Structure 1
Amino acid sequence: MFSQGAVLQRDMPMHVWGWSTPGAQVTVGFDGAHATAKADAQGRWDATLPTHVAGGPYAMDIDDGSEHRVLRDMLVGDVWLCSGQSNMEFTMAEVRDASAEQAKANDSSIRHFKIPHTWSLQPRERLEGGAWVAASPSTVGGFSAVCWFFARDMKARTGVPQGLINSSWGGSSVEAWTDAHAGNVDVQALAATIKKDDAAEEAKLEQTRQHLARWPAQHGDALDAVGKPAWAAEKLDTSAWVDISVPAYWETVGYYGMDGVAWYRTEFTLSAAEAAQGVILGLGAIDDSDRSYVNGELIGETEKQWNKPRVYKVPASALHAGSNRIAVRVDDLGNGGGIHGDAAALYVRTANGTQRPLAGTWHFRTANVTLVPTPTRHLTPTLLYNGMIQPLLGYPLRGVVWYQGESNASAPHAMAYRKQFAAMIQAWRTAWTQPELPFFWVQLANFNSGSDTPEQSPWAELRESQSAVLSLPHTGQAVTIDVGNPDDIHPTDKQDVGHRLALAARRVVLGDNIVASGPEYRQWHVDGAKAVVTFSNEGAPLAVRGGGDVVGGFEIAGADGHYQHAQARIDGRNIVVSCAAVAHPIAVRYGWSDNPVDANLIDDNGLPASPFRTTASP
């Protein structure tokens, strides 16, 4: 972390460390202050410089008697550790209005340090790599978008430099970021499990290699004489193709670890009358992108929508009586690939509404593919902590910004998360010897996970677990159920997310007297057949997104425990909830689904209410 362009934490003793020859006397100088340290038997030395106000640039001199280093362009300001999974890794290059946002990101006092993906069975002392990068239109594209927008707001409020340490890994679990002690991990048993898993991984990859050996290596799509994809043609010799079950991720049917481009083919039959009127083609969900053809004609394409069912209109001009051929080019960018999801989403629908299934056995052939091992290091307890957090311990922080939870949003993990997350926060505070280290996180955004039912919503349970951790002091949460993308687990609106995190940090860290969160459930009582729910909203009046006083997203349950959609309206600081089918309410819930589209309760600042459920009987 101590390198050219670094940002050091203001108003705290500056802990500086490194490695030299065992026994060497090391002197560290910074803006007129000096500290000395002696390297131990392993060569590590630790020195502490006095506190320093914000400012810079400064130089740090380090001398061990045989080597003299000068680290220049160092700033003193606020340092934030940004951690979590892919929505924290999500870069400015991918954000909404990316070009415009990057063009105005011209502030060299906001700096970003991306830690490479690193895992370790044992705690590591040194980082795998990384460098401090100052923000500019040409560099900010690689910054964490959430962290950038957070820092931009904090810089505007404080006027001091902002240092962003980005230690995140897409798809990671909370267990992976928790140390072995806090996570109750038996390291020896874990080592044996990893060895066993590696052997199983290699066996599955070898099976894929054998399946791919039947085809010559491709470096692109085969093209016909006029440059069109040859494998999309209506008439094609498919004797070299193989059968494959559809729908299914291709990793589950013999092509484990495969990324890249592959083709699927099947056919359907129409009468002359049906062909003359056109059809609707349902091709299910395709991971990640597709170009779909009927009789050699491109009838639809979708980019990077792994969980979105494809539904394409096929014009009469592309059809004829008898057999019609479908060809689908699938481009998998990572993880699962192929035509997957619900079998009912694969169909041909004629103009009169007749629907014929397409699920079953299709023909399959790979084009340009690679094998990518998919070990679960990012999900394995303690490994990311050891490799990507442990080496940071001692680097003073203003606070932590966290965006993670999607990987734990399944039963029964969502309920366990409240204890795991709280334990991780407390363990990090202990490890940093900062018992009041501020910690801010993003509550999961709205998303169609595919696992939501009227009885159970793992994403709602995970959100509840996140809210429960607010019982820890010096914490804050950004509610984002209104700014997600139901069809994409990686919503591009990171501006609102960063802004809401900054509101929480301003209130907790800086003591600003501002409204930092939307309405929060406090209590409820029964008034006849109505439930009256009271909110604490920091003085901001309750409101409805879009106006009026009719609130959506509420459900109410009677003695049978079954929730019914309810009518709800604002009454001062309360919401009055009722349902004609429930005479005696025993429980209320709000926004209780993975994608709570009807949940529209906000305050008059536009900040959304957090989902909640009551205990039975107030």
Structure 2
Amino acid sequence: MIKIKSLCILTMLLLTGYTSHSEVRLPKLISNGMVLQRDTKIKIWGWASPGERLTVKFNNKTFKTITASDGKWTVTLPAMKAGGPFTMKIDGTNQILLSDILIGDVWICSGQSNMVHQMELHSVRYAKEIASSNNPAIRHFWVTNTTNMLAPQQDVPGGLWKKAEPANIREFSAVAYFFADALYQKYHVPIGLINSSWGGTPIEAWMSDESLKTFPDLENIVMRNRDTAFLNQIKKTPANTTGSHPPQDQGLSEKWFDPAYTPKEWRRIAVPGYWEDQGIHNLDGVVWYRREINIPQSMLTAQAKVFMGRIVDADVMYINGKQVGTTSYLYPQRRYTIPGGVLKPGKNLFVVRVTNNTGKGGFVPDKPYQLIAGADTIELTGYWQYKVGLVKVPQRTSTGGGGFAAQNQPTALYNSMIAPLLNYGIKGFLWYQGEANTGKPAQYAKLQPAMIADWRQKFQKPDAPFLFVQLPGFMDMNYLPSESQWAAFREAQAASLPVPNTAMAVAIDAGEWNDIHPDAKKEVGQRLALAAEKTAYHDNKVVASGPVFQSAAIDDHKITVVFNSVGSGLATKDGEEPQEFAIAGADKVFVWAKAKIEGNKIILTNDEVPHPMYVRYAWADDPVNPNLINKEGLPAAPFRTDKP
């Protein structure tokens, strides 16, 4: 019996990864170059052999502990002031020496792609900022994307702390970097950015099982995803109704990118533009574009780049038969550096292979399409030739995993990308997310406060500042007052503001109609920094936001709107009368209002509405000119008074 019991214990230790000779191991976050949170007790933790005695030396102090029976150990360091760099030595069976450690403020940066978007993707707009970045006191840690639908995990699979220097800055989240830079310029305290974000993911993926208990539909999905039978089912390969040999791209087999290829039966098409708008009906597949570009000798002496705007969905670009760039999905702007020796004086063959999987395919309008070399530019807009290389036939799939994406499942990212961070001391949270949830604003108005409460509880920071970005303008502009799902979603985001120690960075003016990832990341980061100054650093003198609706008074034929956060006073960014205000009577038929600033109020009238009752501001997917600001230059938040 004793032998059997001993064997069971040994088996358990082997299965959990711990043996009597396990080396001391640290989580990925506890590593060289880390930033530890100032003015609060600091946890250092890891794993080793059960019962192992460990010593941690840091900042001229020594701390001792013994590993628990499950192989885990924790040392709690006293609160410290900002400073560094320091070293840390951990002694057990083995010795670990960590260097270049700073004490400062640590922010969890999370959300979807607009929090992901790196400085590299906005390198044209922020070329000067990238070139001049040299602040080793700002550190950034990317949490490697991974999912787990079963249970919270103990560690993240990878990541490194990197300094805000030219060699690394292109990898930083643009919003997070500009946030940190603004705070450092004011407070000169080291800033640590832990970026745990994933493009296209919904809020429920970032929430714990406990926080979803009051959302039965989502909780049911959590339970379903833990069912082994279901998980096995979604792994099944979709049925292929086109046979065992999928269709081939004729353009690849015939090498349409090769200058030696002789084009036959190619047709004319405009770039930019979608092919569905130019005589190609409902085509998903591969379309090839080609054009000969004359390049003067003078452009061959400088490094050349080609800008191909945005392409839906994926592309491969060839110049004179050489591949110069490729992008596998629709969102990034195409900015490819052309290797030396590819271009030649005179005619050059430009070929783009475009793959579209659903919806309209082609080149997004209102983006740069240019060849640039030094100070010279050649426009690449205009007519190209096209030919279809592959037509995708819709397929029937099995009932298994069609459309199933693990990263979009409730709790899947909390378990794998938030739970492993919980021991790490932090200052607060930055949250830029929502595009994936715009279809359900009423649900989001409840989900976000639930997540805020849950994260604060899990990190044991009940008052941690939670700063979030309200979605910017996006999609087609409507020149008449209309209903808007995105406007309703912005309202749902703002529903979290009554939660203590929250703040919202308004970005309604920072969007682009044809890009869900607008270039204006610096403005967003700096507005988050202003929110932090007031919410996290308690600077009550700072004007942290633009005008926020307070109340509306009806006086017969006019409505008077009063705002909070007017700063030095109301103004408009273009010096014109306020735009994007609409009013309605009892029938709720909205018309544009004549708006006039009187002190810190807006007076709204329209002769067609003799008895106005309701008012809206910037209530649209992408308002044409939301120009109301305070004199500090911060935009007013969209609002409506006719809430359902």
TM range (shorter): 0.7 to 0.9
CA contact (8 A) 1:17 1:46 kept: yes
Deviation at 1:595, TM superposition (A): 0.3
**TM-score with structure 1 setting the length:** 0.77
Give distance in 1, aligned partners of 2:258 and 2:104.
63
Aligned partner letter, 2:32: Q
Aligned partner letter, 1:42: D
Out of 48, 55, 61, the residue aligned to residue 27 of structure 1 is 55
What's 1:605 paired with? 632
CA offset digits 1:284-339 (Å, max 9, x no partner): x96136899xxxxxxxxxx999699xxxxxxxxxxxxxxxxxxx965249x75763
Out of 557, 562, 568, the residue aligned to residue 529 of structure 1 is 557
Give distance in 1, aligned partners of 2:45 and 2:534.
32
CA contact (8 A) 2:331 2:517 kept: no
CA offset digits 1:204-260 (Å, max 9, x no partner): 3x538848623279768723874467476369xxxxxxxxx965473xxxx7xxxxx
Give distance in 2, aligned partners of 1:503 and 1:414.
26
CA contact (8 A) 1:524 1:534 kept: yes
What's 1:160 paired with? 189
Give distance in 1, aligned partners of 2:582 and 2:227.
44
CA contact (8 A) 1:222 1:231 kept: no
> What is the 5 A alignment of 1:476-495?
476-495=503-522
Aligned partner letter, 2:144: P
Inter-CA distance 609–234: structure 2 relative to 1 (3 Å threshold)? closer
What's 2:590 paired with? 563
Give percent identity, aligned residues only: 37
Out of 112, 123, 135, the residue aligned to residue 164 of structure 2 is 135
What's 2:465 paired with? 438
> Secondary structure of the equivalent of 1:156?
helix
What's 2:255 paired with? 222
Give distance in 1, aligned partners of 2:502 and 2:588.
33
Give distance in 1, aligned partners of 2:156 and 2:619.
41
Give distance in 1, aligned partners of 2:424 and 2:157.
16
Would you say 1:383 and 2:412 are equivalent positions? Answer: yes
CA contact (8 A) 1:231 1:263 kept: no
User: Which runs of no fewer than 5 residues in structure 2 stay unpaired?
Assistant: 1-28, 214-218, 269-278, 291-309, 318-326, 333-350, 364-386, 393-400
What's 1:189 paired with? 223
Inter-CA distance 383–555: structure 2 relative to 1 (3 Å threshold)? same
Out of 266, 278, 286, the residue aligned to residue 233 of structure 1 is 266
Out of 296, 315, 339, the residue aligned to residue 361 of structure 2 is 339
What's 1:104 paired with? 132
> Secondary structure of the equivalent of 1:551?
coil
Out of 195, 198, 207, the residue aligned to residue 240 of structure 2 is 207
CA contact (8 A) 2:45 2:74 kept: yes
> Secondary structure of the equivalent of 1:129?
coil
> Secondary structure of the equivalent of 1:561?
coil
Would you say 1:508 and 2:535 are equivalent positions? Answer: yes
Out of 30, 41, 44, the residue aligned to residue 72 of structure 2 is 44
Inter-CA distance 13–234: structure 2 relative to 1 (3 Å threshold)? closer
Deviation at 1:616, TM superposition (A): 6.7
Inter-CA distance 535–202: structure 2 relative to 1 (3 Å threshold)? same
> Secondary structure of the equivalent of 2:135?
coil
**TM-score with structure 2 setting the length:** 0.74
CA contact (8 A) 1:476 1:508 kept: yes
Give distance in 2, aligned partners of 1:452 and 1:197.
48
What's 1:70 paired with? 97
What do you get for the CA RMSD once the two structures are aligned?
Answer: 3.6
> Secondary structure of the equivalent of 1:470?
coil
Aligned partner letter, 1:72: S
Out of 608, 625, 643, the residue aligned to residue 581 of structure 1 is 608
Deviation at 1:454, TM superposition (A): 5.4
What's 1:419 paired with? 446
Give distance in 1, aligned partners of 2:405 and 2:52.
41
Aligned partner letter, 2:628: L
What's 2:16 paired with? none
Aligned partner letter, 1:564: V
Give distance in 1, aligned partners of 2:437 and 2:283.
21
CA offset digits 1:555-586 (Å, max 9, x no partner): 11111122111111111111111122212112
User: Which runs of no fewer than 5 residues in structure 1 stay unpaired?
Assistant: 236-244, 256-260, 266-284, 293-302, 309-327, 342-361
Inter-CA distance 28–22: structure 2 relative to 1 (3 Å threshold)? same
CA contact (8 A) 1:79 1:396 kept: yes
What's 1:7 paired with? 35
Deviation at 1:449, TM superposition (A): 6.5
Inter-CA distance 232–374: structure 2 relative to 1 (3 Å threshold)? farther
Out of 365, 372, 396, the residue aligned to residue 390 of structure 2 is 365
> Secondary structure of the equivalent of 1:48?
strand
Give distance in 1, aligned partners of 2:56 and 2:512.
49
Inter-CA distance 249–35: structure 2 relative to 1 (3 Å threshold)? farther
Give distance in 2, aligned partners of 1:195 and 1:53.
52
CA contact (8 A) 2:209 2:411 kept: yes
CA contact (8 A) 1:222 1:230 kept: no
Deviation at 1:98, TM superposition (A): 3.5
CA contact (8 A) 1:246 1:340 kept: no
CA offset digits 1:505-551 (Å, max 9, x no partner): 01111122111100010001111111111111253200011114x11
Give distance in 1, aligned partners of 2:118 and 2:498.
31
> Secondary structure of the equivalent of 1:29?
strand
Aligned partner letter, 2:453: Q
CA contact (8 A) 2:566 2:630 kept: no
Give distance in 2, aligned partners of 1:68 and 1:558.
74
What's 2:180 paired with? 151
Give distance in 2, aligned partners of 1:291 and 1:113.
31
> Secondary structure of the equivalent of 2:212?
coil
